[in-house]
């Protein structure tokens, strides 16, 4: 597929589910992470200061009945980036997204996809490719039913083993 729709468009087209798998211990840096590293914290009572279009897209999908789940596979002890992600996951939870964490040492016997991805309605995968230092490289779509089924099954095994966000403590 030569023209890949933006995430918001793919999510808007989802009718039942959107699942996200993240497997990196660090991604490209960004101003919010850098602010957190300097000790600045989110004022969770000031929603306008942290609510972004992405959060609204997720909240809108959930309001339509789409179940949105995110699983993160992380090395322990966690990197600063993952510590920050854990902190800011409150925003994801506030949208209604379900988030779980799986320590990498508890995933060793699972067959894992090679890249981060989203799966929409169990029929379409959006794959994310990153460089070794966490920089964004590219994205691609896959709608091959056998490949989607394989990745969806892998996500469910990860999900079943992972710890809900409110119970996972970063180490």
Coil/strand/helix, residue 73: strand
Q: Give yes or no for a cis peptide into 77 (omega within 30° of 0).
A: yes
User: 7-38+51-167 sits in which CATH class?
Assistant: alpha beta
The distance from CA 155 to its chain's CA centroid, rounded to whole angstroms, is 12
- Reply yes or no on whether the pLDDT at 129 is more than 70: yes
Report pTM: 0.95
Q: Domain extents for the chain?
A: 7-38+51-167
Average pLDDT (79-98) is 97
Higher pLDDT, 154 or 135: 154
Q: What is the pLDDT of residue 3?
A: 86
Are 58 and 95 in contact by the 8 Å Cβ rule? The answer is yes
Using the predicted structure, report yes or no on whether residue 38 has a pLDDT greater than 90: yes
* Other beta carbons within 10 Å of 117: 22
What residues contact 88, with CB distance under 8 A and at least 6 apart? Answer: 32, 36, 42
At 4 the pLDDT is 92
At 138, give phi and psi (nearest 5°).
-165, 175
pLDDT in tens, 2-36: 589 999 999 999 999 999 999 999 998 889 999 99
CA 5 – CA 140 distance, rounded (Å): 10
Alpha helices by DSSP H, listed for the chain, are 7-13, 31-37, 47-50, 53-63, 80-95, 145-161
* Cα-based distances in Å from 163 to 96, 102, 130, 150, 155: 17, 6, 25, 22, 14
Q: What is the mean pLDDT of the chain?
A: 96
* H or E element, residue 68: strand 67-74
Segment 40-61, tens digit of pLDDT: 999 999 999 999 999 999 999 9
| Torsion, CA 156, CA 160, CA 74, CA 165, rounded to 10 | 120
Q: Give me the pLDDT at residue 1, please.
A: 43
């Amino acid at each position: 597929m030569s023209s890949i729709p933006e995430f918001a468009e793919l999510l808007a087209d989802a009718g039942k589910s959107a699942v996200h798998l993240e497997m990196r211990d660090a991604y490209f840096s960004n101003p919010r992470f850098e602010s957190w590293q300097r000790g600045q914290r989110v004022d969770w009572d000031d929603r306008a200061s942290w609510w972004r279009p992405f959060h609204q897209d997720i909240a809108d999908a959930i309001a339509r009945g789409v179940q949105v789940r995110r699983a993160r596979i992380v090395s322990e002890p966690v990197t600063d980036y993952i510590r920050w992600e854990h902190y800011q996951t409150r925003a994801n939870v506030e949208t209604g997204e379900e988030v779980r964490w799986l320590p990498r040492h508890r995933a060793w016997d699972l067959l894992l996809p090679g890249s981060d991805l989203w799966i929409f309605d169990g029929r379409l995968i959006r794959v994310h490719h990153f460089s070794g230092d966490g920089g964004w490289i590219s994205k691609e779509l896959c709608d091959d039913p056998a490949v989607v089924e394989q990745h969806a099954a892998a996500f469910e095994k990860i999900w079943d083993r992972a710890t809900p966000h409110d119970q996972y403590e970063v180490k």
